[in-house]
């Protein structure tokens, strides 16, 4: 999903030499959490009682409220990724979305991972002939959730990294 060698400075925090202000970084995490939460039921239907992706979404929001550290968020991301590896199909994609949502605390560019994996989850859950329409509808829903402060940044990031994200954002 993410190319360490060619990072967009708009998605690198000011503290690390980029242009991303803390307030916008936190908005990216909240938006990513909304994307992941929108498909969470696809994981929970397959793995009732496994709270790791739900906890990741909650921790993404907790990080955005400055209630947990980036290190705590990162640990939660690893747990959600483990949950993804223990299932398949739409459930896997939904858990990956949650993992990427909380990983935004560590690397802001994970915001597109949360969105892309949510689209993949919806597509995987749809009937074969409905997958494109389901993916487009999910992408429209996600864009409707974007706060005005980060809308242009995210839409530009989608355009720039669409190919790396399985071309899910040009539908």
**Residue 62 belongs to some domain of the structure:** yes
Residue at 170 is within a domain = no
**For residue 39, is it within any domain?**
yes
**Euclidean distance between CA atoms 53 and 106, whole angstroms:** 17
- Its pTM stands at 0.94
Domain limits at 54? 9-165
Within 13 A of 125's CA, how many CA atoms are on the CB side?
21
Is 28 a domain residue? yes
Residues found in the chain = 171
User: What is the chain's pLDDT, residue by residue, as a tens digit (171 residues)?
Assistant: 434 567 899 999 999 999 999 999 999 999 999 999 999 999 999 999 999 999 999 999 999 999 999 999 999 999 999 999 999 999 999 999 999 999 999 999 999 999 999 999 999 999 999 999 999 999 999 999 999 999 999 999 999 999 999 899 985
How many domains is the chain partitioned into structurally?
A: 1
Q: Give CA separation, 83 vs 45, 94, 102, 122, 124, in Å.
A: 13, 10, 14, 18, 17
**Is 4 within the bounds of a domain?**
no
Residue 2 lies in a domain: no
């Amino acid at each position: 999903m993410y190319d360490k060698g060619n990072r967009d400075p708009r998605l690198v925090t000011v503290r690390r030499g980029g242009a991303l202000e803390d307030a916008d970084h936190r908005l990216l995490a909240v938006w990513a959490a909304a994307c992941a939460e929108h498909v969470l039921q696809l994981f929970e239907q397959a793995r009732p009682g496994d709270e790791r992706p739900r906890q990741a979404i909650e921790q993404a929001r907790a990080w955005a409220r400055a209630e947990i550290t980036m290190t705590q968020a990162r640990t939660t991301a690893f747990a959600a990724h483990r949950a993804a590896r223990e299932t398949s199909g739409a459930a896997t994609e939904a858990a990956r979305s949650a993992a990427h949502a909380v990983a935004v605390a560590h690397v802001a560019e994970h915001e597109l991972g949360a969105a892309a994996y949510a689209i993949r989850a919806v597509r995987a859950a749809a009937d074969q002939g409905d997958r494109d329409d389901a993916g487009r509808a999910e992408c429209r829903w996600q864009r409707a959730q974007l706060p005005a402060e980060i809308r242009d940044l995210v839409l530009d990031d989608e355009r720039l990294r669409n190919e790396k994200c399985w071309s899910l954002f040009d539908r």
